[in-house]
Amino acid sequence: MFGLGDFDFAWLAKFLSLLFLPFAHEDLAILVGGYIVVNEVMPLGMVAAAIYAGMVVSDFALYGIGAGARRLPWLSRWAVNDSVKYFGDALTRNLFGLVALCRVVPGFVFVAGIACGWARVPFGRFAMASLLVSALYLPLMLYLVIAFGDALDDHVGLWTWPLLLCLVVIAGFMRHRVFSLRENVPAVAANIRFRKPQPRAGSELSRAMQIHRT
């Protein structure tokens, strides 16, 4: 009656997987999208649209968690920590830069999205930053995955996509380590700068000997 016999449920499953994968890991969603495009399972436009929608909707969901944490104590205990509070203070200075950073560094988007809602960043401003940054990040990364995947597929064959997955994991780990070190350096430097010098045992002994001689 409704023509369900001609409907491709496998295609729908692939589309929904691309839509929901960004909730877990955006780079993984882009990698799966590249595999689908290279193997001509779905057209490029549909793949990009599904991943883009998933990225933006996941950002909105995280913003909603942060906004809800202001009113629900149990949600605040679960979602708000020191990292969220730190990001909340930084968001008032450079929202677009911070959202772009969270696209590059894996895991940071969860903290930043919640921090935006918790810090009362206007939703329109947050939505604009998410839409623009995602529109810039997704085409670049998807193009790189498709280009490398297509080139390696002729030489490596079935090992192409496990190899790219390992590269994505290693790159994500290195990016996380680099930016974590950059965050820790100012704190360590400030701690060293403002630490009060502690008298050494040798200097105290010398001072005592001088007093004794006088």
Q: Identify the pLDDT of residue 89.
A: 65
User: Up-side HSE of residue 84: CA atoms within 13 Å toward CB?
Assistant: 24
Mean pLDDT, rounded, for 32-39: 90
- What pLDDT shows up at residue 201? 46
Of residues 112, 108, 143, the one with CA closest to residue 129: 112
Closest Cα to residue 58, out of 125, 168, 134? 134
> Is the model's pLDDT at 194 over the cut of 60?
no
Domain ranges of the chain: 9-213
pLDDT at 15: 87
Please state the rounded mean pLDDT for residues 121-132.
Answer: 88
- pLDDT tens digit sequence for 69-119: 888 888 888 877 777 766 666 666 667 777 777 777 766 777 778 888 888
Residue-averaged pLDDT of the chain: 75
Q: Which amino acid type is present at position 71?
A: R
Task: Say if residues 14 and 51 touch (Cβ distance below 8 Å).
Answer: no
- Give the per-residue pLDDT at 87: 67
pLDDT at 107: 65
Residue 8 has pLDDT above 90, yes or no: no
Question: Over 70: is that where the pLDDT of 147 sits?
Answer: yes
Asked if 158 and 46 count as a contact pair (C-beta separation under 8 A), the reply is no
Whether residue 55 is predicted with pLDDT greater than 80 in this model: the reply is yes
Rg (CA), the chain: 25
Residue with tokens 């401003």: 125
Write out pLDDT tens, residues 152-169.
Answer: 877 777 777 888 888 877
Give the global pTM.
0.73
What's the N-to-C CA distance of the chain in angstroms? Answer: 110
> Cα angle vertex 27, ends 34, 167, to 5°?
85
The per-residue b/e assignment along 122-148, b for 16 or more CB within 10 angstroms, e otherwise, is eeeebeebbeebbeebbeebbeebbeb
Residues 13-23: tens digit of each pLDDT: 888 899 999 88
